[in-house]
Chains A and B, each alone.
Chain A
């Protein structure tokens, strides 16, 4: 990389020794293909006699379905089938997004298409299958659904009895109340000199993958086998779901996730429309394709965030933080998402708020509320940005109230490496933290004193700039302790299958999937390094539930941290097998041999003994020359699951944002952004940097532009990309990424997850920077409502009326 901002800053001496291509910016094989326009996304796949489906979706947020008249549609040109929710319900078993770690969570059953009642605008009601998508859409317009419109639940405030009940047995529409901490929310903080309180609001956003969701289901009736091509992150999870809920033997279901055009957690769940496509293929015995168009993506993709929180920070006069409290209300839409449940984001807010700081008096309450809006799912950095913005907004509030420098109050209160191992009050295991190192790296890279001096000078000229700092704790590489006891059939292990080919090169199948992160390449680097071969001699395959080892796919930043460890173990095992065979051929002790550069060498001298191609040739074609009983094993599979009792691999980082607020228009210009993060051993710096930068931009989007707005009737007001603003290049700053190599990892590879880091802290940093520009300059009130739209900023400045 020519970018100057990729220094590695050691936190402590790393115990991990690496060699080979690990640590290098190896280019991606996939990238070479996709720049030529040869990416193979779901919509690029065409199967013989393939049909297309269009879904008629509910125009109402809440309504009873009185009748459906599809007679005219069934007679339309090219129509093969028109299927209602009731028809569809007979083809599958229902599903509910429960989670047994949260036994009080009330999770109603769901069906792929609405049955009797619709609960959000955009819910699929009728599937129309035709020989082309255009004809299917034409016929969908001819379906006549008679609705009895019901009042919609769109707010999610506690305390007022709801006018309407969304689900049987849930009279208050509350899905879950969860509490944790040293005292009840609202009680006093002993030992505090001052307590500061703020209301935080986080609008609804969505992942906006550039490639919309898509699926092709191909049921072969004679074999009884279902093959699914899907734009998804978790092929094995989907295989399990389709088999169980459609009544198919699991070994006859295959899920392929080829090139995926962005996923970000959005393509991690079961969607009713996608499930319906599988059922339709079984019903019709033909391949069926569904590609969401952008307008239906906006109402049918999972949304995220939608929190309203009241939070407090308790401090001593000298700036010591003694306590923090968060009372979060979380609107989750009409159902709990399946199969992971919708608890994740709220649970993370409960657990991560306050985590970077040495406070012990911590209390938190989460209230999850059902609403007539689209479903809330997992979007990149699940809950982290909410927890971070609350925490860091409170820290700035306290600094302001005490007259302290925002940098100084943070440095004083960070959890230090010397405090670790520590378990945070929210239950975060911290084997080691590198917050101080990350903080110092950011402050140095941005030259904070110089920026402060410039800020003061600019203010004299009526130019209002602000600096915002935000520290975050990041949960990566989830272990088996969350979904296992939760009763969710989601594996936490990853696997790697390596095969030495007869020519001496290596094929590698992995369970982790690649939606652009470059996981394939990172795994290839691990294999090449630990096996002792060149990168060019390893070919990596992923995204096929039938041929790859069983594993989780892509979620919770596990690709390299867990998948990489599985690859390391497979490479080590294959190397041992190769050397064992070579030792027989060479009549040597395997312990005296090594593999370097694709050749078996003497371990001590490095002298070549034989190339791997010779070992492979003998192993595959000349077993006759081997002594009796010698069985070559030139193919190995290894799996890895994280240590029992460790829920995740916690890491951390620090963001800083530099912005300018136009006080006439309320528009924020991003001038610069800095991130120091701790990913442990960085396998491929370039991949990590672009992951972080991409995350920062998604975070800035949610901080400044992105908001899915609804009216009181539950109609979405921002249902196109003309209304829902996604960041573009011209609005984004240059982003400096600093790698801090921290410790605290048990795995031999030493890598921590990195996917959440960019999003986790950027909204908080932007929010604090904007508040520094306006409240810090004495121009107006602090704003804790994201996104910080021009309207809200002008409201804070007192220039337009409106609630903040």
Chain B
């Protein structure tokens, strides 16, 4: 297989990264191996389990189905880069309180998925309490430990918290705790 390298430039967790990457390197391998951001996990490498979920230009994506070269010129965020984001902090706190994780391997991706869901709901104001909608939303992310219910519970709690306090912006806060 060709191992030709390409020069890429992207923003990762707010920092500009310039690198040479092999054409076949997927984004999650690049983040984990080259940038040592190991919060994104590799579970299946065929786009099913969702453990590799990252944010690319603000939208969640499968890190295993994107090549690193495809992220050239884009903004990539991982769980490490979300440290300090108020909505993410709420989600992390409530996930711990609800024991909404066991082994934790699915958790960073699950949190990013929940973050996008709540952000969207708050922006559009379209949410009515509905656990089925939460279940549908997180159904791209496997969890083999919890039975999902505690995750649904945690996401619902944070959602209600944000619904009842609409002045809190879920996005756009600075990331003082970012690891990069």
Min CB gap A134→B, angstroms: 7
Stretch of A90-98, A258-266, A444-452 that contacts chain B: A258-266
A211-B41, A730-B136 are known contacts. Are A28 and B148 too (CB-CB below 8 A)?
no
Query: How would residues 695 to 706 of chain A score, 1 for a CB under 8 Å from any chain B CB and 0 otherwise?
Result: 111100000000
CB under 8 Å from chain B, chain A span 719-768: 720-722, 726, 728-732, 734-735, 758
Complex partner residue of A28 from B39, B99, B151, CB under 8 angstroms: B99
Q: Interface size bucket, B side?
A: 35 or more
CB-CB under 8 A from A696, the residues of chain B are: 147
The answer, yes or no, to whether B8 is at the interface (CB within 8 Å) is: no
Query: How would residues 105 to 146 of chain B score, 1 for a CB under 8 Å from any chain A CB and 0 otherwise?
Result: 111100100000000000000000001101110111111111
The answer, yes or no, to whether B173 is at the interface (CB within 8 Å) is: no
Residue from the set B39, B43, B134, B144 with the largest chain A CB neighbour count within 10 Å: B144
How many contacting A-B pairs (Cβ < 8 A)? 192
Query: How would residues 10 to 50 of chain B score, 1 for a CB under 8 Å from any chain A CB and 0 otherwise?
Result: 00000000000010110000001000111111111110110
A25-B99, A37-B39, A516-B101 are known contacts. Are A720 and B46 too (CB-CB below 8 A)?
yes
Stretch of A38-46, A457-465, A575-583 that contacts chain B: A38-46
Residue of A nearest to B111 (CB): A35
Stretch of A104-112, A164-172, A559-567, A686-694 that contacts chain B: A686-694
Please determine whether A2 and B157 come into contact, CB atoms closer than 8 angstroms.
yes
Residue of B nearest to A720 (CB): B46
Residue of A nearest to B100 (CB): A690
CB-CB under 8 A from A30, the residues of chain B are: 104
The answer, yes or no, to whether A210 is at the interface (CB within 8 Å) is: yes
The answer, yes or no, to whether B72 is at the interface (CB within 8 Å) is: no
CB-CB under 8 A from B143, the residues of chain A are: 210, 729
CB under 8 Å from chain B, chain A span 199-214: 207-212
Complex partner residue of B95 from A35, A692, A726, CB under 8 angstroms: A35
The answer, yes or no, to whether B7 is at the interface (CB within 8 Å) is: no
Please determine whether A728 and B142 come into contact, CB atoms closer than 8 angstroms.
yes
Residue of B nearest to A41 (CB): B105
The answer, yes or no, to whether B159 is at the interface (CB within 8 Å) is: no
The answer, yes or no, to whether A31 is at the interface (CB within 8 Å) is: yes
Min CB gap A23→B, angstroms: 15
CB-CB under 8 A from B146, the residues of chain A are: 690, 693-694
The answer, yes or no, to whether B9 is at the interface (CB within 8 Å) is: no
Please determine whether B149 and A734 come into contact, CB atoms closer than 8 angstroms.
yes
Complex partner residue of A730 from B80, B91, B139, B147, CB under 8 angstroms: B139
In the bound complex, CA of A517 to CA of B3 (Å): 42
Residue from the set A27, A138, A264 with the largest chain B CB neighbour count within 10 Å: A27
Q: Interface size bucket, A side?
A: 35 or more
A37-B38, A211-B41, A518-B99 are known contacts. Are A697 and B148 too (CB-CB below 8 A)?
yes
Residue of A nearest to B155 (CB): A729
The answer, yes or no, to whether B152 is at the interface (CB within 8 Å) is: yes
In the bound complex, CA of A46 to CA of B108 (Å): 20
In the bound complex, CA of A35 to CA of B1 (Å): 37
The answer, yes or no, to whether A609 is at the interface (CB within 8 Å) is: no
Residue of B nearest to A731 (CB): B139
Min CB gap B131→A, angstroms: 8
Please determine whether A729 and B138 come into contact, CB atoms closer than 8 angstroms.
yes
In the bound complex, CA of A708 to CA of B24 (Å): 30
Please determine whether B144 and A698 come into contact, CB atoms closer than 8 angstroms.
yes
Please determine whether B105 and A722 come into contact, CB atoms closer than 8 angstroms.
no
Complex partner residue of A210 from B39, B51, B132, B138, CB under 8 angstroms: B51
Please determine whether A138 and B1 come into contact, CB atoms closer than 8 angstroms.
yes
The answer, yes or no, to whether B97 is at the interface (CB within 8 Å) is: yes
Query: How would residues 232 to 268 of chain A score, 1 for a CB under 8 Å from any chain B CB and 0 otherwise?
Result: 0000000000000000000000000001111110000
Please determine whether B148 and A729 come into contact, CB atoms closer than 8 angstroms.
yes
Please determine whether A210 and B135 come into contact, CB atoms closer than 8 angstroms.
no
The answer, yes or no, to whether A665 is at the interface (CB within 8 Å) is: no
Please determine whether B96 and A31 come into contact, CB atoms closer than 8 angstroms.
yes
Please determine whether A722 and B48 come into contact, CB atoms closer than 8 angstroms.
yes
Given A34-B104, A697-B147, 20 more pairs with CB closer than 8 A: A1-B99, A30-B104, A37-B37, A37-B79, A43-B32, A134-B3, A138-B3, A209-B144, A212-B43, A262-B103, A262-B144, A264-B144, A293-B45, A516-B103, A518-B102, A689-B150, A690-B146, A694-B144, A720-B46, A731-B139
Q: Which 4 A-B pairs have the closest CB atoms?
A: A37-B39, A693-B147, A34-B104, A516-B102
Report A's interface with B, CB cutoff 8 A.
1-3, 25, 27-28, 30-41, 43-44, 46, 77, 134-135, 138, 207-212, 259-264, 291, 293-295, 515-518, 686-687, 689-698, 720-722, 726, 728-732, 734-735, 758
